Structure 1
Amino acid sequence: MSVSSSSLPPSAIVSRLRAAGCVFAEDEAELLISAARTPAGLAAMVDRRVAGLPLEHVLGWAEFRGLRIAVDPGVFVPRRRTEFLVGRAAALARPGAVVVDLCCGSGALGAALVTAVGRADLYATDIDPAAVLCARRNVAAVGGEVYEGDLYDPLPAALRGRVDVLLANVPYVPTEEMALLPPEAREHEARVALDGGTDGLDVLRRVTAQAAVWLAPGGHLLFETSRRQAAAAVRTVTRDGLVPQVATSDELDATVVVATRPVLRDAPAGQDGSRT
């Protein structure tokens, strides 16, 4: 149930949002009015948005690949450009695939992938307790499990060598560039979800170092990076025994690396019966 628009004129809400720098003030006003249950609740939501909180934190949800993903205060908000990563993963996954979502945040990527594939075994991890609590709501909706801990550490050991699709939306903002992020992200999302270290690739290197251990032969690791970091990311992937491909979307300004664990086949036998 939405609050009556007569309680707080939409035009006044739009004016306040626009004055606060909201580019899509009309659309945001409509969402806030639809979400509010009382006039007081609407006023409070508008106040929080004007104060700089991300719209998704004010609403309590974000739209991601057609899903309404719960997003709690302080939790990383899934970006629209990351829909490109999920689309690439969906093209590679088969029904019944084993999927792992590292640095899962709200769990949006894993939930969207399972929804796209139709059926998959989903396991997600995050080091941030707030993110884990949030992700459990989204991941439970598609029958998955969420674990609290650092990258692979909390995953069931039985998954080693069995993962078909490994999603890793790792932080990749270089530390010295954190101050350049929009205030919405810098001030209201967990730093651990944004800061990728000196060159932005610290967490990625830790992911790729163990990826081949967890991936099934022919399995795929997918992660997002910036275009200028892509070459260094590819070198990291190659060093750790995976075969990389880079995909880009100009529309979404997205760059995704797909890194595949090679399928090793027996070499042909020589004339003396030995392997060559």
Structure 2
Amino acid sequence: MNTLKTTFLMALLTVMMVMLGGALGGRNGMTLAFVMAAGMNFFSYWFSDKMVLSMYGAHEISERDDPRFYGLVRRLAQRAGLPMPKVYVIDSDTPNAFATGRNPEHAAVAATSGILRILSEEELAGVMAHELAHVKNRDILIQTIAATFAGAITYMAHMAQWGAMFGGRGDDDDGGGMGALVMAILAPLAAMLVQMAISRSREYGADAGGASICGNPLSLANALAKLEMGNRQIPMHANAATAHMFIVNPLTGGGLMTLFSTHPPMQERIARLQEMARMGRS
């Protein structure tokens, strides 16, 4: 179901981008939209992992640097049938972790010094298994493409708004007019909501996959409870564009913020893992 939902949402983003391009510039606008998306996706595919790791000051470690953590990741990767990813540590007291990389052969997992300090061996295994599930499911690439599409839609919508204010109305084939303006206002919001829904869907899938890899859903459930509390006590200065990558949302907020969250409600994630344990599934 998660895969079907993601496929549908990705198709919806594509349709939105084409429609917005068509509203702005007719057939030429649709072509420009596709070219823009292709170029941005190409850049994201090859370089997004290095950019994110650099953004948070992550440094690569070897087994000699941290035998416990590195060895744990290696055992989990073997259980998951994955190549050994590069392992990084971020010097931050906020307990969190993420995975990045365009495919399993070019993957990396990163954990903060805070998470390495507060979690038990079993809980840390649950967290890193979750990240390896993202790698196995190629979620990093899916989420990167979704974010790229949403960003392109927002950029095009801003162009439409400025064009409506200063460029006047165009004919039907060239786009413009009230329809284009309305779409330019609504498209960024809709694209953001779709992007968030994709991210939430992949988080549920990674929770289930991580529980299967580590063999104990409760290890991950207990870790998530600790991480949520830790992120409230020691917030991370995270970039909103990369918040979806972390196992726990580093951007806190209630009310309407939950609607725009890249992560499912923590209580729901924990409840699903507890149900897996109760049913004897891992």
**The two structures share one fold, judged by TM-score above 0.5:** no
TM-score (norm 1): 0.28
Structure with higher RCO (Cα < 8 A, 6+ apart)? 2
Higher share in strand: 1
TM-score (norm 2): 0.28
